[in-house]
Amino acid sequence: MFKAQYELHPNPAPVFPWSLYTLAAEEEYHRLLEEKNDDEDSFQKFFERNPSFLPGAFELRNLSGHLPHLQCLITQPEIGASHTRKPDFLWLSQDSLTFVPVFIEIEKQSKRTFTQTGKTSADFTQAMDQILDWKSILNKPENQLAFFQKYNLPQELTSKVFKPQFILIYGRREEYEGNEYLTRKRSELQTDDIMIMSYDRLSPQYDSRNMLCARVSNTTGNTQYEIITIPPTFELDAALASNYSEYVGFVEAIDRMEYTTPQRKYFLKMRFPYWKDIGPTLHYFDGKTCE
């Protein structure tokens, strides 16, 4: 009979409730949509603080039951070609057979998809061309290998079929809503591996409540996943504790958590080292794994 190799804390400080988080985060997001129409950087920072707003953690089309690698949304990722513009975000998603890195590009929400005559705009064409450049780079085996090395990906991930996907977050629904021709045309601009979404479609997803945001560096061959934000809904989990030894700056990021009481921050700082140390040794979990 297997027995769990860990002990849960008898009285963890309460996590910020998901229902309250969604109210607060959606209010801030809608305020940004109204007030920061031309400010892409404000949205970059917002999504860094709120990873659950960005789709792709569980792939795009056929949703996976597997968590993304290290449960991290990566900000400003590199794809192994320094002369190209970086994507804004990356999920290292997967399913049982496929490794599906999901690259996300956000553009100013004020940009339009179509001209007044219904042609695709220059701004939109430029954004799509950038994604096609990334696809072309990742089609080459040598660039795939460089990508794997950049993120220090385990063999269990790199041995799967490699199928990158891409999301372009672009414009507002009001541009084409109610216009059957433009709605259909925008839909037809998508492909099996490129999804186009308006800012209006984004909302926090419960299954991503524990996702962190990280910045990845690999300047000396030593890959580091530096945690820059932790959502207030995050809970320490024995089933995910094997990831924790890969993190840099997690404890420091606790101080930057929003909507989080001092008691909760203290608890996370006190409890994280336990799970970080024991995580790599855990192989069996009973029905309760938090906190």
Model pLDDT for residues 9-53, shown as the tens digit of each residue: 999 999 999 999 999 999 999 999 999 878 899 999 999 999 999
Mean pLDDT, the chain, whole residue set: 92
Following DSSP, what letter does each residue of 195-253 receive, concatenated? EEE-GGG----GGGTT-EEEEEE-SSS--EEEEEE--TT----GGGGGGGGGEESHHHH
Looking at the predicted structure, is the pLDDT value of residue 69 above 50? yes
Collapsing DSSP to helix, strand or coil, 26 comes out as helix
Which helix (H) or strand (E) segment is 20 a member of? helix 18-35
pTM for this prediction: 0.94
86 vs 271, which has greater pLDDT? 271
At a CB cut-off of 8 Å and minimum separation 6, what does 217 contact? 223, 224, 226
Q: What is the 3-state secondary structure (H, E, C) of 112-157?
A: CCECCCCCECHHHHHHHHHHHHHHHHHCCHHHHHHHHHHCCCCHHH
Range from 3-12, 18-27, 99-108 carrying the lowest mean pLDDT? 3-12
What is the model's pLDDT at position 80? 65
Rounded to whole angstroms, the Cα distance separating 191 from 174 reads: 22
Nearest 5°: the CA angle 84, 211, 69 is 60
pLDDT, tens only, 235-280: 999 999 999 999 999 999 999 999 999 999 999 999 999 999 999 9
Contacts of residues 94-97 at CB distance under 8 Å and 24 or more positions apart, as own/partner, are 94/64, 94/66, 94/68, 94/69, 94/157, 94/160, 95/59, 95/62, 95/64, 95/65, 95/66, 96/64, 96/66, 97/160, 97/161
**In Å, how far from its chain's centre is CA 108?**
19
What is the model's pLDDT at position 84? 64
At a CB cut-off of 8 Å and minimum separation 6, what does 14 contact? 261, 264
pLDDT, tens only, 171-206: 999 988 888 988 899 889 889 899 999 999 999 999
Q: Max CA-CA distance within the chain?
A: 70
Looking at the predicted structure, is the pLDDT value of residue 1 above 50? no
Instruction: Give the number of residues written for the chain.
Output: 291
Rounded to whole angstroms, the Cα distance separating 93 from 226 reads: 18
> Would you say 94 and 69 are in contact if contact means Cβ atoms under 8 Å apart?
yes
Range from 55-64, 65-74, 103-112 carrying the lowest mean pLDDT? 55-64
What is the model's pLDDT at position 60? 72
Rounded to whole angstroms, the Cα distance separating 198 from 176 reads: 10
What is the model's pLDDT at position 83? 53
199 vs 2, which has greater pLDDT? 199
pLDDT band at 4 (very low <50, low <70, confident <90, very high): low
Which helix (H) or strand (E) segment is 67 a member of? none
pLDDT, tens only, 132-164: 999 999 999 999 999 999 999 999 999 999 999
Q: Break the chain into its structural domains and give their ranges.
A: 17-279
84 vs 213, which has greater pLDDT? 213
The residues with which 162 forms a beta bridge, in sequence order, are 99
Looking at the predicted structure, is the pLDDT value of residue 99 above 60? yes
